[in-house]
Chain A
């Protein structure tokens, strides 16, 4: 297939955005940096979303491929070698200009650059870095840049990528070696994990340096959910391992969307959005709430319950942990109560020293009373929950009555 010289820029952007949209990550967070002389752009610690597309996902970065040419033949991917689609290459100057013009109109917070592999990983990665350097140097662009690392690119090139980006990521895509071998035979798990190790140690070494951007926003990765029989337990175990070992900022879960006809893939009509949602909830519990993977699911119970969230599920299976007293419970304990989150737990700890707390004030602090009331007491006075402790199913019924999940909506 040849690159048609007549392809206009609208078509190019359309096609390459279409190829990039299955990547989930769009965060522009983790780095706080103001703009200085001869620069355009700044970044914000918590990131800024600029728009929301009709699938409800936020658009923060211009998410795009440099090219949709690819030498790999991964079963799940829209850009795989054997697909007969229009192949296009965006020139570094074109992409830099578009990013700059979008940025100054405040459409985006920065660039998310990924790519299919053209010729070989090394060459592809070098072209991506060239684009980023052009943007940073010629245009003085100081906004957020997320660079996707191409598997099997050399360490020298990966180092260069880290220097110019605010965050880098390399996608594992599938949670086990076996699955990867089956669906993406060109990718090697060891090689990807090795790159992650290298990224971690490099970011760490460059941490104090101020000469470049040095990916101060860390690294992330992505896993496809539901394309293989891998269980939630295996997925969460892997995620937790990566958080610990490689200090990943995020593991993204992407519900499998069928784009190719392939006998190796399951035939599903809708992507498993609810499962994806439950995995994110479990991910938060592991990262921020002090839960262990084994508390949420296990070898014997390898899949998360879909009907209720993992925190409530844990609480109902561990009713002897409750009720907890709002005045006495520690931060870690409060975080175990369904309906109490990080912010409200902090508020409770601060406020209980200076004032009396009741259901009304708890509500004002952001606690979801309909859930929390079954698991808490006030100075020993228990609420309606305790009498139900021998009937966890009844609590479950009462709570889920008033609860509908935004991801389980019927399709429009």
Chain B
């Protein structure tokens, strides 16, 4: 497989360019990477690399090049990520991405829009819209879902196990009447479920960092905390 073919492969299967304008720029362009090298890797390592690329690390080119030259000389299948600082960086960043994905699976909040869409905004540190969209396209199969990354201004449309890149042109339609009822109901529930005698704001802050709160409806009212 030529380098060009590899890039097509990556673009098609790993990074549809609409979601990852940045990643394609930073992929090393030299001929030292070939599909052959990548195809040798096991699933876990590929996943680590995938997550690492989602972090949009500024040292990405450097670290990847280092990584590829490293695995060329590597005989054992398992990679010691503590071996040097570039590998460690890849591993650490990938872990951060994985954790943010998991966190957003819980914290993303959808609102029902007139016209029958579920719409969620968020502002993730990493470019995680695709893995999240894939997850939600199955979780709520029949729904028409829009996920909008405000930081990068990219959006994904999910429906029946499929994800499509989307562009939001005009203003988002207004919420439905039901939306107002159920979000109010949720806020009510959220306030009531806490046991006052066990108050522990510190753990709450640790689990729901302030940077995420502006898009989580039960925290929207108390951003000052």
Contact = CB atoms under 8 A, between A and B. Distances in A.
Interface of A: 9-10, 13-14, 17-18, 20-22, 34-42, 44, 48-60, 62-63, 98, 101-102, 104-107, 109, 255, 257-258, 270-271, 273, 350-351, 354-355, 361, 364-365, 406-407, 409, 411-412
Nearest to B112: A105
A55 B202 CA distance: 9
Count class of interface residues, chain B: 35 or more
A133 to B, nearest CB: 20
Nearest to B88: A364
B109 to A, nearest CB: 6
In the A-B complex, the 10 residue pairs with the smallest Cβ-Cβ separation, listed nearest first, are: A56-B203, A56-B200, A53-B194, A55-B198, A52-B207, A50-B106, A17-B192, A54-B194, A55-B194, A105-B110
A21 B195 contact: yes
A270 B136 CA distance: 42
A51 B111 CA distance: 16
Contact of A13 (B88, B120, B185, B208): B185
A55 B88 CA distance: 36
Contacts of A365: 82
A14 B184 CA distance: 11
B105 interface: yes
B9 interface: no
A42 B102 CA distance: 15
Given A42-B138, A271-B197, A10 B182 contact: no
Contacts of A105: 109-112, 118, 182-183, 186
A412 B183 CA distance: 28
A106 B204 contact: no
A60 B106 CA distance: 8
Contacts, number: 148
A366 B183 CA distance: 40
Interface of B: 76, 78, 80, 82-83, 88, 102, 105-112, 118, 120, 136, 138-143, 178, 182-186, 188-190, 192-204, 207-208, 216, 218
Nearest to A365: B82
A406 B143 contact: no
Given A35-B138, A40-B142, A355-B83, A406 B197 contact: no
Given A42-B139, A105-B109, A270 B80 contact: no
A21 B139 contact: no
B192 to A, nearest CB: 4
B80 A106 contact: no
A245 B45 CA distance: 40
Contacts of B184: 10
Contacts of A40: 139-143
A350 B120 CA distance: 41
A365 B95 CA distance: 13
A247 to B, nearest CB: 28
A53 B202 contact: no
A14 B192 contact: yes
Interface residues of A, dominant DSSP: loop
Given A10-B184, A10-B185, A105-B182, A22 B201 contact: no
A104 B102 contact: no
A48 B203 contact: no
Contacts of B80: 351, 354-355
Nearest to B216: A51
B198 A51 contact: no
Contacts of A20: 193
A365 B216 CA distance: 33
A77 B58 CA distance: 56
Contacts of A56: 198, 200-204, 207
Given A39-B141, A52-B208, A406-B203, A106 B189 contact: no
Given A50-B107, A105-B182, A354-B76, A59 B193 contact: yes
B185 A21 contact: no
A98 B181 CA distance: 10
A17 B186 CA distance: 11
B189 A52 contact: no
Contact of B139 (A35, A98, A270): A35
A104 B118 contact: yes
Given A40-B140, A355-B80, A54 B186 contact: no
Given A10-B185, A98-B185, A257-B197, A34 B82 contact: no
26 contacts: A9-B185, A14-B192, A17-B193, A21-B192, A22-B195, A37-B141, A38-B142, A41-B140, A42-B139, A51-B208, A52-B204, A53-B194, A54-B204, A55-B194, A55-B204, A56-B198, A57-B194, A57-B198, A102-B182, A104-B110, A105-B109, A109-B106, A271-B197, A351-B82, A364-B82, A412-B199
A41 B201 contact: no
B203 A52 contact: yes
A411 B185 CA distance: 29
A350 B197 CA distance: 44
B27 to A, nearest CB: 28
A44 B135 CA distance: 11
B82 A58 contact: no
A337 B64 CA distance: 37
Given A34-B138, A50-B106, A409-B200, 14 more contacts: A13-B189, A21-B193, A40-B142, A41-B140, A50-B107, A53-B204, A54-B204, A55-B199, A55-B200, A56-B203, A63-B193, A105-B109, A105-B111, A106-B110
Contacts of A350: 78
Given A62-B189, A354-B80, A106 B195 contact: no
Given A48-B102, A104-B140, A53 B197 contact: no
Residue from the set A34, A62, A105, A364 with the largest chain B CB neighbour count within 10 Å: A105
Nearest to A103: B140
Contacts of A109: 106
